[in-house]
Structure 1
Amino acid sequence: MKKKLFLTAALVTGLLSCSPKKDVPMLDTNDENLLKEEVTDNKLTIYQVFTRLLTNTKHVNKKYGTLEENGVGKFNDINERLLGEVKKMGFSHIWYTGVIEHATMTDYTKYGIPLDDADVVKGRAGSPYAIKDYYDVSPDLAVDVPKRMQEFEALVSRTHKVGLKVIIDFVPNHVARTYHSDAKPTGVQDLGEGDDKSKIFDTKNNFYYLPGTSFRVPHEYHALGDLPHPTKDGHFDETPAKATGNDQFTPGPHVNDWFETIKLNYGVDIVNNRARHFEPIPNTWEKMRDILLFWTKKGVDGFRCDMAEMVPAEFWGWVIPQIKEANKDLVFIAEIYNPYEYNNYIDKAKFDYLYDKVGLYDTLRSVIQHGTSANLISANWKNLQGINNHMLRFMENHDEQRIASQFFAGKPEKGIPAMVVSATLNSGPVMVYFGQEVGEPALGEEGFSGDDGRTTIFDYWGVPQFQNWMSVDRYDGVTLEPSQQLLREKYVKLLNFCATSEAIRKGGLYDLQAANNGGKTAGYEEHKIYSYLRFTENQKLLVIVSFEESLKRRINVRIPTNALAAMELSATANYDLKCVLGDHKPVSFNAANVTDPNNAQAGIPLELEPLTGYIFEIKEESK
């Protein structure tokens, strides 16, 4: 991706007139602590919800419990009041995870839906990433199963009515082993229909086959543990066997493979050095395009694309522009974990946003969990120069362990400074997973996934702390602990600030870490403190967070002369610092007293409480 230089108004003025504003220093654009890319107003704030768990009010939580025992949330339960509360939190989008029909052990045969084989279903409810019918929604989510699609369409309408946009999953790499669409529109050919099963690979085939073999259920897999099920016998009839979703070309995948899924063929001959055959356009490309158009016409505003990097960038670059012809405002988010492919999936594949998991998330987690130095945060945005604002930041999602779980931080407050950084460091999207804001710890062994610090995506379950906030449709959190209520208030203030702040939405960035670390300023413990500036012509912000777990710190924060230049601030004027996020008294300072690199006492004096994030607005001193 071609990198674009972020030019401040001061620099533009200087270039045109050769004389910058009075007392504003000349800007050094080569400063490595200054963001050097074009910034646009694209601050999506996304609330991810696991749809079947979101509104479940049952508290039974029995391991491998049935739908009747443990309960399940419905489309109809997601009412305007709940959606209004989501909107009030500061969110622009809601990601409904697990909408499209997937394989399950629950029996819906009385509605004409075939019963799935328990030996290729993970958990009682099944994985939402083992799609069973791309043209249907999960019957679990419907009050009136035959009218399930109408109930989903009504949910989309309600969501739009309160001012939120809808994101759903698109799972392009694989489908359930039992895939068969009984809801596809007239004239649509099913995936796999017409495949030549005598060939491992053919550009006309939708799947990869292993001729002369039969699929073998992993011998380590015991569906539902010791519990019985009508279709549980350790066998699944699939001849010839198909390649498994995570590129396993064996009839007997391991239990840790995605054995419940089959790999889709996009014209890549995986067993022959991944030779690419994209002309003529592979049949799978056209079928997946039609599926995306189907959901776009349902009013969906965006797609989170599961394991997007396992599908060739050429397909995405072909399909995304076509889908955006139907709705130019659609957003495409790629789940991707290979930084070497980031530019490719923005430039060639045309994605709007990519997961920033192996960069910022992993760094922040290490700072919280292992005491890694906060200095390492700087390397993340510097390594992503040119694409920072295409990166989606988060501290939880359905794949990651809950912050409050024993496997991560142990208490939710430890996630606050990391969440402030995730939300404000750049202008790209930020995401919160439902229950994160009230400190859900994901306790217990739910079923297939075990006790792993994650909220299950495989079984029927209730999310206790989120249920406490719902308070049986009151949505007032009266049964939450005071600490949980305070935690939620912090999330609400942060997200609403992100939604409205010009500097956060489309401002420049100047990293202050280098100017303050190494004992350069008094009290600034660089391994536990991180600070930076976000700014536009109209708004200048200082953001500072403390990862200290118990220690209150009195520190100075130096602002280099070049940072003042970037913000178009005078090097001699007096300024007021007003806290707009967090709790800190107002501070005044003179610019000349905060820049001296040779004076450890230079800088803005601040008092930082443990596990806190502050945002200060910098304004000229009021007369």
Structure 2
Amino acid sequence: MTRHLQQLLDALAALPQQQPYKHYHIPALWVGESSGTVSVDPKRHYSDAIESILARDPHPLQDAGADADTWSRSAAVYNLFARLTTAFDHDGNGTINPDPLQGGFRETGTLLKSIALLPYIKKLGVNTVYLLPLTAPGTVNRKGNLGSPYAIKNHFTIDPLLAEPALGLSAETTLKAFVEAAHHLGLRVMFEYVFRTASIDNDWIPQHPDWFYWLYDTPPASADSTPFGPPEFDHDTLNRIYEQVDKHDHQKLPDPPQSYRNRFAPTPERIQQNPDGSYTGITAEGDTCSIASAFSDWPPDDRQPPWTDVTYLKLHRHPGFNYIAYNTIRMYDTLLDNPEARNTELWNAIQGIIPHYQATYGIDGAMIDMGHALPAELKAGIVKKARQADPGFAFWDENFDPSSSAKDEGFNAVFGSFPFVLQDPIYIRGLLNFLSKTGVPLPFFATGENHNTPRVTHNHPGEEGRRRSQFIFALAMMLPAIPFIHSGMEICESHPVNLGLNFTDDDRKRFPAESLPLFSRATYDWKNTNNLSPIHTYITKLLAIRQRYHNIISSGEKGSLVLPFTSSPDMVAVMRKGSRSNLIFAGNSNFKNKIQTTLEFSRETCTTTDLIQGKPLQVERHKLELTLEPGQSVMFEMPH
């Protein structure tokens, strides 16, 4: 069905024939041209884009009807942050305006523009679109000028900023059209969900104050009076916490100091909303209290400042746990194993979120933010309810370990540790050796970056960064993993989206929240692509190679990945073993100098072809001599 797409067409057709635009620019890349911009009439452009999608014969989903494990292994992903990915300075005045331009179209990213981008995404060779949270963000203590998409104000309301005012249609209607368009093109749609945290002005607060943690506005004399943040532990207590967690011993984990716990108020009996949208609670004793902001809760000595716009949801009612500490681990305390300790009504509400999106939008899967920080029973309930409606619904977990335990929990893929090691060849070899010995029970994301890590070109600008991006993506295509294109990667975007992991103190000084696209209006350098040639055609070629050899590449069996000996320390080589032939990758991890190296084979002589460049490769006297430019990679098939 495409009735919501037709609604968009009707709304566009109803707009005045003469839009009050002299110039409305879009990136040339969006319409298949080279870098730069093209000037379009927005009414005509978006109408043409939707009509061109509908004019295509419906494209079946890859592995249609397959179980979630099967289609996840065949997924190739484009990670879309709608508010950012399709943002652009359409009027060319040097700013990104969240208010609609004259005529009603926005410069921040919208779902209409995301629909128009789908043919470009499809052309890259991906088959799955994964969207960062789309829900309306909170407004109290908002980060940046747009707010964090992870500060969820309402779990069922789509951010109104993602709608185009010109159409007079809601963001919800436009999102339905987006999913229809993606499915028509043969693209599955994954949403990311946030279940561990919410905004400090979340709409659940007035009706369900017991779902949240509260702080006394005036702490009692027995409470710590320093600015609120993570509890501090003495050296011996920290060591005990680490030792117990390392041993998976969650019995009687240490509490934070009593003075810290005394800061937290009991659930208030009355709630009042303040003019700024925040909430004040009044306890039975008449004390006032406010929602406790969250912080990075693991490790327990993490000194990041509080996350002022979000709070942790109170998943357990146990009276001994009326505080936020190192909850990511502490919630596994055996004292919480008793079902009576669960905040059952909250759990039921959380378990009902994904079924709502399945019924309303027809999505194909979910990525669970901080899935490692949810109780196992809650995660099991989330998975069970979603699969009652759709047995093929996929679940991906923000878990760094692609172990069988995540598979046992019903997940079909995990985030993995790839972005954290891929930028260092030494760590790359360590990871490859580990995968060779252990196998891969379920796929992880094959990428050098995501919205929480540095861009590949952040630490390595210019041509070196471009070479590094190509090398990483080529290597990733050889692994039993899910190819993952973080939007902007294909144009070598260097500006970080968020300062999550692997950033330096200097980075944190250089990029305040106002400069980070996760919180503030921004755009990619679509126009000039950072003065580098985009790598989108290279990505397309590699995804086609992966699809051709998918049966070999997708195998996670132990022994299916082998590391051949190479004569150069800068050469990274991977062999994937097939039943009739092997697929081999060789890449130069030196991004400044060319190298010469040799690979040895059992076959005395053989002619094969580099699948990337189409050039012949000759094995003579059991040896293949290669000369590779900085960052260059080759892939070739070698018959047994």
TM-score by length of structure 1 reads: 0.68
Which 10-residue stretch deviates more, 539-548 or 39-48? 39-48
**Aligned partners of 2:607 and 2:616 also within 8 Å:** no
Q: After superposition, give the CA deviation of every residue in 1:446-486 in whole Å (9 maximum; x if it has no partner).
A: 9x97744996210011212xx32xxxxxxxxxx6689514x
Residue 137 of structure 1 aligns to a residue in which SS?
Answer: coil
Q: Which amino acid aligns with 2:207?
A: E
Higher relative contact order (CA 8 A, sep 6+): 1
What is the correspondence of 1:430-579 to structure 2 with a 5 Å cutoff?
A: 430-442=483-495, 451-452=510-511, 456-464=517-525, 467-468=526-527, 483-485=532-534, 487-502=535-550, 503-506=552-555, 510-513=560-563, 515-516=564-565, 524-526=567-569, 528-559=570-601, 574-579=605-610
Looking at structure 1, the residues matched to 308 and 531 of structure 2 have their Cα atoms a distance apart, in angstroms, of 44
Task: After TM superposition, give the deviation of residue 543 of structure 1 in Å.
Answer: 0.9
Distance in 1 of aligned mates of 2:630 and 2:163: 45
Query: What corresponds to 1:353 in structure 2?
Result: 413
1:445 Cα offset (Å)? 12
Show the counterpart of 2:81: 50
Q: Select which of 597, 601, 604 maps to 2:624.
A: 604
Aligned equivalents of 1:173, 1:335: Cα separation in 2: 12
Report SS of the residue matched to 1:131.
coil
SS at match of 1:134: coil
1:385–1:572 Cα change, 3 Å: closer
Within 2, Cα distance between the matches of 1:62 and 1:483?
Answer: 22
Stretches of 4+ aligned residues off by more than 6 angstroms: 214-220, 231-236, 407-410, 443-446
Distance 1:123 1:43 in 2: 37
- 1:29-71, Cα deviation, whole Å (9 max, x unpaired): xxxxxxxxxx9671311101110122222165659x7546993
- Identify the residue that residue 90 of structure 1 maps to in structure 2: 125
Match of 1:143 in 2: 164
**RMSD between aligned alpha carbons?**
3.8
Kept in 1, the 8 Å contact 2:450–2:486? The answer is yes
Query: How many residues matched?
Result: 480
Bigger helix share: 2
Alpha-carbon contact 1:61-1:462 (below 8 Å) kept = no
CA distance in 1, matches of 2:516, 2:548: 31
Structure 1 residues 212 and 455, CA gap change in structure 2 (3 angstroms): closer
Any conservation in 1 of the 2:608–2:617 contact (CA below 8 Å)? Answer: yes
Partner residue, 2:191: 168
* Residue of structure 2 in register with 1:344 after alignment: 405
The offset of 1:443, in angstroms, is 8.0
Contact 2:200–2:292 at 8 Å: present in 1 too?
Answer: no
**AA matched with 2:159:** S
Residue range with higher mean Cα deviation, 239-248 or 50-59: 239-248
SS in 2 for 1:133: coil
Q: Which AA in structure 1 matches 2:523?
A: G
**How big is the shift at 1:575?**
3.4
Aligned-partner Cα distance in 1 for 2:388–2:277: 47
C-alpha change, 1:584 and 1:319, in structure 2 (3 Å) is same
- 1:71 corresponds in structure 2 to 107
1:281-296 equivalences under 5 Å are 282-296=344-358
Structure 1 pair 541/445, CA: closer, same or farther in 2 (3 Å)? Answer: closer
Counterpart residue number, 1:193 = 207
| Aligned counterparts of 2:354 and 2:478: Cα–Cα separation in 1 | 32
Contact 1:416 1:611 in 2 (8 A): yes
Which residue of structure 2 lines up, in the alignment, with residue 6 of structure 1?
A: none
Relative to structure 1, the CA distance from residue 504 to residue 129 in structure 2 (aligned partners, 3 Å threshold; closer, same or farther) is same
Q: Give CA deviations for 1:70-120 in whole Å, capped at 9, x if unaligned.
A: 93121112235x2122112111111122311112xxxxxxxxxxxx33xx1
* Structure 2 runs not aligned, ≥5 long: 1-68, 230-273, 282-287, 324-329, 500-506
Deviation, structure 1 residue 607: 2.2
User: Superposed, which structure 2 residues align to 1:195-214 within 5 Å?
Assistant: 195=209, 205-210=210-215
Give the distance between the partners of 2:591 and 2:576, measured in 1 at CA: 26
Query: What is the CA-CA distance between 1:191 and the residue it aligns to?
Result: 6.0
Take 1:612 and 1:544, find their aligned partners in 2: how far apart are those partners?
9
Shift of 1:511: 4.8
> 5+ unaligned residues in a row in structure 1: which ranges?
1-38, 104-115, 181-189, 196-204, 221-230, 469-478, 560-570, 595-602
**Letter of the 1:88 counterpart:** K
Identity of aligned residues (%): 17
- Cα offset, 1:213, TM superposition: 5.2
Matched, 1:616 2:636: yes
Structure 2: how far apart are the matches of 1:611 and 1:248?
Answer: 38
Residues 122 and 60 of structure 1: CA distance in aligned 2, closer, same or farther (over 3 Å) = farther
Matches within 5 A, 1:271-350: 274=333, 275-277=335-337, 279=339, 282-297=344-359, 298-337=361-400, 339=401, 342-347=403-408, 349-350=409-410
Shift of residue 232, structure 1, vs aligned partner: 11
In the TM superposition, residue 212 of structure 1 has moved relative to its aligned partner by: 6.8
